[in-house]
A and B are shown apart, each in its own frame.
Chain A
Amino acid sequence: MIRVADGQGDKNGVASAAEASASKSPASLRVRVLRQDAPGRESYWECHVIPYEANMNVISILQRIAARTTTEDGRKVAPVAWDCNCLEEVCGSCTMLVNGRTRMACTALVDRLLEEQPEEIVLEPMSKFPVVRDLMVDRRRVFRSLERVKAWVPIDGSYDQGPGPRISPEDQEDAYPLATCISCGCCMEACPQFTKVEVSRLAGESQEAFEARRKEAFDKNFLGAHAISQAMLFNSHPTGKMIADERMEALTDRGGIQMCGNAQNCVAVCPKSIPLTRSIARAGRAATLWAIRRFFDR
């Protein structure tokens, strides 16, 4: 299919992605996918070749693969499983490793990827979360961390009590970026301190016992940068801070802020450009103050 290149702004050098690549766009794309049929199975590589179209992203590649399900060497295979929903980088579903880097598949534009690495596009599941199938991983732990730090405003109830507290534009501008975290997991994938926790159900174990054991395993391990940042978000909200101590408790407990080695990998990969290192620094200072206060309160 021929699509007209987006010819906007060429005169002033603000060339569009489509245009920049129009001259050197290939006829087809080679896509190498790391597949795994189920948890605990061996993973394996598979190659697909699909026709190039202008303005493609990794999602449209996966859609074409799902519709064709034929590998480079002509074998019929099951479609690659993956996660997505919004296709505009706001739901946090589609995280994967694209050409070795953790990012969102929906904003991974093919033309840009070809600039990075023209021979092929490589797709792998995230490595810090258990694989469910192919590119789909189990990110329950991301949400468990939010429970651990009580990432919510503790309201009395949802009945009308008038408006919330007045907030200065500066405070809003400070809080808003932190509130845009899409729970994608990129920051955790990139973090050297965040290691994979995979718990499988034992023979004869009840669902409840299994869930409790899994929760326990999560809680022993690192929270992740996103949860530290959320804790700081709610600790700075006028009502949210009413349970600031409880959050500090979680942050200084096992798997808390002390595990962060300040490698700053997280902030580099966050698709929402959330100032994670600033949150971590704030949390570190708050944790020190809190420890001192606790010491004197004893």
Chain B
Amino acid sequence: MAGPRVLVIGGGLAGLSATMRLAELGIDVDLLSLVPVKRSHSACAQGGINSVNTQTRQQGDNEWKHFDDTVYGGDFLQHQPPVKEMAEWGPRIVDLMDRLGVPFNRTPEGFRDQRRFGGTLYKRTAFAGATTGQQLLYALDEQVRRWEVAGKVKKWEFWDFLQPVLDESGRCRGAICQDLVTMEFRAFPADAVIVASGGCGLVFGRSTMSMVCTGSAVSRCYAAGAFYGNGEFIQVHPTAIPGADKLRLMSESARGEGGRVWVPKTPQDPRDPRDIPDAERIYFLEERYPKYGNLVPRDIATREIFNICTNEGLSVEKDRLCVYLDLTHIPKETLDRKLGGILEIYEKFQGVDPRFVPMKIFPAVHYSMGGLWIDYERSASGGLVEGSPRNQQTNIPGLYAIGECDYQYHGANRLGANSLLSCIFSGLFVAPGVVASCDEAKKSEPGPQLMNDALKAQEKRHAELLSRPAGGENPYDLHDELGKLMTRTCTVVRRNDQLAEAYEAVCALEQRWQKCSLSDTGSWTNQNVVFTKALGDMFPLAKLILKGALQRDECRGAHYKPEFSMPGIEADDPAERRRLAEEWCDRFEENTKKWLKTTVARHGDDGHPVLTYEDVDTSIISPRPRLYGLVGGEVIEEVWRERQQARAQAAPQPATVGAGG
């Protein structure tokens, strides 16, 4: 009997780190990707990767605080043990990447330099120029190439994952994939399949993501019965450069290095921004959030920018919404050294030098916190049991998900520079559990019939698509419509009437997709049919995102419904303030009871998502109000603290898990 064999779908940071670790554990890996793995979307990450480090530690930082910032930033929607484990691994992961040769920026003494990112008070973020993701990706790509030469890894680049194959017991036994060049179909029997296919930004048309971020791979797992968690949580990045083909990110590091966001006091002030004196500018983030300033968490920055443009009418331009992001007060040399790469992007695409002229930016869809539902095994200390086959496993045994395509770690909102960490962490951490799962798989071998049947079904589906009559719907136009609809109704501000309408509209688009015709019916490098398939698989995701958003009647992290927002306290009278704060806290507790739940979507037989809600493991840090800059936040916090103390006295608890560790 051959040794264990694992199929990894996707070679971004997550897929590559899993491949490297598995190869090291002696497993043969097939690594399959739509694009050469070195060209994966992870290359786009600019800002950096978070972990506690020697320096922040001496300023009072520790793994616990990183863990706490992550769950607080995520509005407590994530299960805590995986996050705790990840924060503890952080320093080791950055050390490892350092050893792999990532050219992290250095201090004069030769240590790794760190910067501060949103949602924390410490300089926790290590970075390599302005292309940290690229550098991390390359370092892992190099190690995997080494394993390829050694014969442990076989790469399948320009291949499309079409479906996982499940046996009668419901276990995943491999996958069917298609060569994008020859269009040949092939069955990949495997003892375990790991999906590491990244985000699904293309469901929103234009986003900051790369062109292969269609979500097709996860949608295909979902269609095969995998659950999808927290789909409605989509992060909209506050600062992107609007473009015709793509919304290009302006990294948070621009604000990390001191960039200031402002609009002129006079709406659409026609003056050159540099001629507008400070007194005639509104630095609205600094004014409203004195503690965090321009570095408030993403969801808040996004809403404020959106709000100042739409509701307050202070957009810099009349016909295109945008605000200024200003770096011009920072010395050119500092900018070149710390932000060279990202400023170059602005200059390359806008033809303006941001070192001398304030940039114009607006929010854009950026990250999917939701993704394939995955399991974990909690350890006694509140972390994870290393080597458990349950870690990162979907509800389908033998099918795993890691990286941006899983729903773990970031809850309702991801903190900047935490994703590169979660991708590498989940990739490394999943490996020993997958080895254990392979042992399980080896106990029985399915016959060849299973794979053959699935292969035939895919070939048939393909042939049907190619033989659709000409003159039908145009897939590119449908995608454009879908993107506009989703962006309009389901990003920064969500309203139930609009979401309900959008759901109907998406169903109608899906119907029209059935009548798509292909402009290429050939059998060689047919990008048209590949795109059309991926588009078809966007509708189920769009539907679960919309339905999740529609049903979730609250505000949490990136999910914001004005109808359910909990405004701050404006009253001046102390007694009145107390009373209102008590009320606020009552409402908060009620809402927590009702909505602090993972949305779990299952693909219904009628094509509509079936949603259920699952409790979140908040046993380590109990949920508290997220009060970044809320008016009257002090009095709410006071009342909240008193309640917590009263509760602690009423039921003395054994000391919780390793605070500080």
Contacts known (A87-B211, A107-B348, A143-B36); A167 close to B106, Cβ less than 8 A: yes
Q: Does B261 contact A (CB under 8 A)?
A: no
Interchain CB contact under 8 A, B351 and A11: no
Interchain CB contact under 8 A, A162 and B138: no
State in angstroms the CA–CA spacing of A150 and B149 once bound together.
Answer: 10
Q: Does A93 contact B (CB under 8 A)?
A: yes
Q: Does A202 contact B (CB under 8 A)?
A: no
Q: Does B477 contact A (CB under 8 A)?
A: yes
Q: Mark A149-162, 1 if CB is under 8 A from B, else 0.
A: 01111110110111
Q: Does A28 contact B (CB under 8 A)?
A: no
Interchain CB contact under 8 A, B210 and A87: yes
Contacts known (A8-B352, A158-B96); A56 close to B244, Cβ less than 8 A: yes
Q: Mark B285-327, 1 if CB is under 8 A from A, else 0.
A: 0000000000000000000000000000000011110000000
Contacts A67-B477, A90-B44, A160-B96 known; 14 new A-B pairs at CB < 8 A: A3-B319, A8-B350, A63-B476, A78-B519, A88-B349, A91-B40, A93-B35, A107-B349, A132-B525, A153-B101, A168-B106, A169-B106, A171-B106, A179-B138
Residues A126-166 near B (CB distance < 8 A): 132-133, 136, 139, 143, 146-147, 150-155, 157-158, 160-164, 166
State in angstroms the CA–CA spacing of A180 and B43 once bound together.
Answer: 10
Q: Does A240 contact B (CB under 8 A)?
A: yes
State in angstroms the CA–CA spacing of A110 and B612 once bound together.
Answer: 49
Q: Which stretch in A13-21, A217-225, A285-293 binds the other chain?
A: A13-21
Interchain CB contact under 8 A, B149 and A147: yes
Contacts known (A85-B35, A93-B35); A155 close to B99, Cβ less than 8 A: yes
Interchain CB contact under 8 A, A90 and B348: no
- 20 A-B contact pairs sorted by A residue (CB < 8 Å): A9-B272, A9-B352, A12-B356, A15-B351, A18-B350, A55-B243, A66-B528, A77-B519, A79-B528, A85-B35, A107-B348, A107-B349, A143-B145, A147-B145, A155-B143, A163-B98, A163-B99, A167-B110, A169-B105, A234-B101
Q: Does B659 contact A (CB under 8 A)?
A: no
Using a Cβ–Cβ cut-off of 8 Å, how many residues does chain B contribute to the interface with A?
A: 83
Chain B residues within 8 Å of A277, by CB: none
Distance in Å: Cβ of B465 to nearest Cβ of chain A: 15
Contacts known (A63-B476, A172-B105, A234-B101); A16 close to B352, Cβ less than 8 A: yes
Q: Mark B76-105, 1 if CB is under 8 A from A, else 0.
A: 000000000000000010011011110111
Q: Mark A38-74, 1 if CB is under 8 A from B, else 0.
A: 1000000000000001111101100100110100000
Chain B residues within 8 Å of A12, by CB: 272, 274, 356
State in angstroms the CA–CA spacing of A107 and B346 once bound together.
Answer: 11
Q: Does B357 contact A (CB under 8 A)?
A: yes
Contacts known (A8-B273, A87-B246, A164-B98); A18 close to B351, Cβ less than 8 A: yes
Interchain CB contact under 8 A, B24 and A91: no
State in angstroms the CA–CA spacing of A16 and B72 once bound together.
Answer: 41
Q: Please provide the 3 A-B residue pairs with the shortest distance between their CB atoms, ordered closest to farther.
A: A17-B351, A164-B98, A166-B110
Interchain CB contact under 8 A, B96 and A79: no
Contacts known (A14-B357, A86-B44); A53 close to B244, Cβ less than 8 A: yes
Q: Mark B506-539, 1 if CB is under 8 A from A, else 0.
A: 0000000000000111101111100000000000
Chain B residues within 8 Å of A154, by CB: 146
Interchain CB contact under 8 A, A133 and B525: yes
Contacts known (A9-B357, A85-B211, A87-B210); A169 close to B107, Cβ less than 8 A: yes
Chain A residues within 8 Å of B611, by CB: none
Contacts known (A8-B360, A152-B142, A180-B129); A163 close to B95, Cβ less than 8 A: yes
Q: Does A125 contact B (CB under 8 A)?
A: no
Q: Mark B184-224, 1 if CB is under 8 A from A, else 0.
A: 00000000000000000000000000111000000000000
State in angstroms the CA–CA spacing of A237 and B38 once bound together.
Answer: 21
Interchain CB contact under 8 A, B95 and A164: yes
Interchain CB contact under 8 A, B348 and A89: yes
State in angstroms the CA–CA spacing of A296 and B516 once bound together.
Answer: 71
Distance in Å: Cβ of A229 to nearest Cβ of chain B: 13
Using a Cβ–Cβ cut-off of 8 Å, how many residues does chain A contribute to the interface with B?
A: 84
Q: Mark B33-51, 1 if CB is under 8 A from A, else 0.
A: 0011011110110000000
Chain B residues within 8 Å of A158, by CB: 20-21, 24, 96, 143, 428
Interface residues of B (CB under 8 A from A): 20-21, 24, 35-36, 38-41, 43-44, 92, 95-96, 98-101, 103-112, 128-129, 131, 134-135, 138-139, 142-143, 145-146, 148-149, 181, 210-212, 243-246, 248, 272-275, 317-320, 341, 345, 348-353, 356-358, 360, 428, 474, 476-477, 519-522, 524-528
Contacts known (A78-B522, A93-B39); A179 close to B135, Cβ less than 8 A: yes
State in angstroms the CA–CA spacing of A136 and B525 once bound together.
Answer: 9
State in angstroms the CA–CA spacing of A172 and B139 once bound together.
Answer: 15
Chain B residues within 8 Å of A81, by CB: 525, 527
Distance in Å: Cβ of B68 to nearest Cβ of chain A: 23
Contacts known (A76-B519, A153-B101, A239-B99); A67 close to B349, Cβ less than 8 A: no
Distance in Å: Cβ of B572 to nearest Cβ of chain A: 43
State in angstroms the CA–CA spacing of A262 and B468 once bound together.
Answer: 55
State in angstroms the CA–CA spacing of A86 and B146 once bound together.
Answer: 25
Interchain CB contact under 8 A, A11 and B146: no
Interchain CB contact under 8 A, B248 and A90: no
Chain A residues within 8 Å of B348, by CB: 89, 107
State in angstroms the CA–CA spacing of A166 and B350 once bound together.
Answer: 38
Q: Which residue of the partner chain A has the closest CB to B476?
A: A67
Interchain CB contact under 8 A, A87 and B273: no
State in angstroms the CA–CA spacing of A150 and B348 once bound together.
Answer: 33
Contacts known (A87-B211, A153-B100); A163 close to B112, Cβ less than 8 A: yes
Residues A160-217 near B (CB distance < 8 A): 160-164, 166-169, 171-172, 175-176, 179-180, 182-183
Set A18, A92, A106, A180: member contacting B131, Cβ < 8 A = A180
Q: Does A27 contact B (CB under 8 A)?
A: no
Interchain CB contact under 8 A, A151 and B211: no
Set B43, B101, B112, B524: member contacting A90, Cβ < 8 A = B43
Chain A residues within 8 Å of B181, by CB: 132-133
Chain A residues within 8 Å of B135, by CB: 179
Interchain CB contact under 8 A, A90 and B134: yes
Q: Which residue of the partner chain A has the closest CB to B520?
A: A78
Q: Does A37 contact B (CB under 8 A)?
A: yes
Interchain CB contact under 8 A, A240 and B525: no
Q: Does A84 contact B (CB under 8 A)?
A: yes
Distance in Å: Cβ of B532 to nearest Cβ of chain A: 11
Distance in Å: Cβ of B624 to nearest Cβ of chain A: 33
Distance in Å: Cβ of A54 to nearest Cβ of chain B: 8
State in angstroms the CA–CA spacing of A76 and B139 once bound together.
Answer: 45
Chain A residues within 8 Å of B341, by CB: 180
Chain B residues within 8 Å of A67, by CB: 474, 476-477
Chain A residues within 8 Å of B353, by CB: 9, 14
Interchain CB contact under 8 A, B106 and A84: no
Q: Does A6 contact B (CB under 8 A)?
A: yes
Q: Which residue of the partner chain B has the closest CB to A66?
A: B476
Chain A residues within 8 Å of B320, by CB: 3-4
Interchain CB contact under 8 A, A91 and B143: no
Q: Which residue of the partner chain A has the closest CB to B46?
A: A90
State in angstroms the CA–CA spacing of A63 and B138 once bound together.
Answer: 29
Interchain CB contact under 8 A, B142 and A151: yes
Interchain CB contact under 8 A, B345 and A88: yes
Chain A residues within 8 Å of B148, by CB: 147
State in angstroms the CA–CA spacing of A14 and B99 once bound together.
Answer: 43
Chain A residues within 8 Å of B24, by CB: 157-158
State in angstroms the CA–CA spacing of A54 and B319 once bound together.
Answer: 14
Q: Does A10 contact B (CB under 8 A)?
A: yes
State in angstroms the CA–CA spacing of A217 and B630 once bound together.
Answer: 66
Distance in Å: Cβ of A24 to nearest Cβ of chain B: 15
State in angstroms the CA–CA spacing of A114 and B519 once bound together.
Answer: 29
Set B44, B109, B272: member contacting A11, Cβ < 8 A = B272
Set A55, A85, A133: member contacting B244, Cβ < 8 A = A55
Q: Does A122 contact B (CB under 8 A)?
A: no
